[in-house]
Amino acid sequence: RAKSNGRNALQQFTPELGRRADERLALSRRMRAALSNGEFRLDYQPQVDLQSNRVTGVEALLRWTDSELGPVSPATFIPIAEENGLIVPIGEWVMQQACFQAQVWQASLPGLRMSVNLSPRQFARGDFLRVVQRALARARLSPRLLELEITEGALMSVGALDVLRALRAMDIDIAIDDFGTGYSSLSYIRNFHAERLKLDMSFVSGIGRHREDEVITRAILSLGRALGFQVVAEGVETDTQLSFLRRHGCRVVQGYRFARPMPAADAHAFISQFNEGALAHS
Ligand code: C2E
Ligand code: MG
Ligand code: MG
Ligand code: MG
């Protein structure tokens, strides 16, 4: 059936993919094969520091293009990989690949930070710290250049604070991803030992359109400032959003307004050019 309908017909179903049990099973099988065949890639999305007007970091984002299904969104396949446990070996691959790339970039982009997303399942494992240490050692990357992005939900789990403390002792930065959408109480974030809060895109996209989103954005920016977190705004697409964030003291922005997630070579070219421009204007 799939063959006679062809690739385009299948692609139409991609947004819906993974809803049904048989589709999830099929995706699980293909994901397992993709991992052993080396079909995963990483894209890198620049993060712009508004104080220096330079790209100071990138977020590694996982990409998978299946030979028959075409590109499958992480929003579809990561939840399935979390469920079936494949996120653990996939996440190890991501960590290693991102560390290698970060080290390669140090020669021409010194100090560029690499942010890697973690799933709660990786974070909860007993060998997690060893996995991170091994990736750093193999890549000969300084832990100072690695940042791990963890959601509030994962941080609320038992033992999370000990792992955070250990990461901090290793000199690895922590960013709290999708901040504002989880269940953590504001007083609890004091314990997180994180460097950054990533203001969720859902608030950023309401800037200029919904007063409530602007109020929440301002509140998170001032909370971040008061408690000593840098705030990174995610999903910044427009000049309106950018100037609002700048005006209210946001330190770092990430979004299509500056750059989409890109393959390594394109990201390198973008960052080199962007930062040269910043120097020329300073
Ligand atoms: P996230 O970590 O919050 O990543 C940000 C998402 O927003 C990315 O989606 C990125 O492409 C998208 N984005 C960035 N700027 C803009 C913008 O201006 N407008 C819009 N509309 N979108 C923007 P992506 O790459 O599809 O990833 C979705 C989620 O999948 C990520 O959300 C993260 O939770 C998860 N993910 C991606 N890569 C990994 C990974 O290596 N490991 C794990 N555990 N999760 C990952
Ligand atoms: Mg993230
Ligand atoms: Mg994020
Ligand atoms: Mg997010």
The response to whether residue 163 sits with its C-beta less than 6 Å from ligand 1 reads: no
Nearest atom within ligand 1 for CA of residue 178: 3
pLDDT in tens, 201-240: 999 999 999 999 999 999 999 999 999 999 999 999 999 9
Closest CA to 48 of 99, 112, 140: 112
The response to whether residue 177 sits with its C-beta less than 6 Å from ligand 1 reads: yes
The response to whether residue 261 sits with its C-beta less than 6 Å from ligand 1 reads: yes
The pTM of the full predicted model, rounded to 2 decimals, is 0.93
Q: Which of 61, 123, 197 to mutate to test the pocket of ligand 1 (most atoms within 8 A of CB)?
A: 61
**Nearest ligand to the CA atom of 204:** 1
Nearest atom within ligand 1 for CA of residue 119: 44
**Assembly ipTM:** 0.98
Read off the amino acid at residue 157: S
How many Å lie between the centroid of ligand 3 and the Cα of residue 177? 5
Nearest atom within ligand 1 for CA of residue 151: 34
The response to whether residue 61 sits with its C-beta less than 6 Å from ligand 1 reads: yes
The response to whether residue 66 sits with its C-beta less than 6 Å from ligand 1 reads: no
pLDDT in tens, 139-187: 999 999 999 999 988 888 778 889 999 999 999 999 999 998 887 667 7
Question: Which residue has its alpha carbon closest to ligand 1 atom 7?
Answer: 235
CB 157 within 8 A of CB 108: no
Q: How far is CA 54 from CA 5, 190, 198, in A?
A: 47, 29, 18
pLDDT in tens, 67-90: 998 999 999 999 999 999 999 999
Q: How far is CA 30 from CA 21, 67, 80, 129, 272, in A?
A: 14, 10, 12, 29, 37
Residue 257, helix vs strand vs coil: coil
The response to whether residue 94 sits with its C-beta less than 6 Å from ligand 1 reads: yes
The response to whether residue 119 sits with its C-beta less than 6 Å from ligand 1 reads: yes
The response to whether residue 78 sits with its C-beta less than 6 Å from ligand 1 reads: yes
The response to whether residue 205 sits with its C-beta less than 6 Å from ligand 1 reads: no
- As given in the structure block, the two tokens for residue 206 are 């309401």
How many Å lie between the centroid of ligand 1 and the Cα of residue 121? 17
Phi, psi (deg, nearest 5) at residue 96? -65, -45
CA distance 16 to 10: 11
pLDDT in tens, 28-77: 999 999 999 999 999 999 999 999 999 999 999 999 999 998 999 999 99
CA 103 to chain centre: 18
Q: Across residues 112-117, what is the average pLDDT? A: 98
**Nearest ligand to the CA atom of 203:** 4
How many Å lie between the centroid of ligand 3 and the Cα of residue 3? 37
H or E element, residue 11: helix 2-12
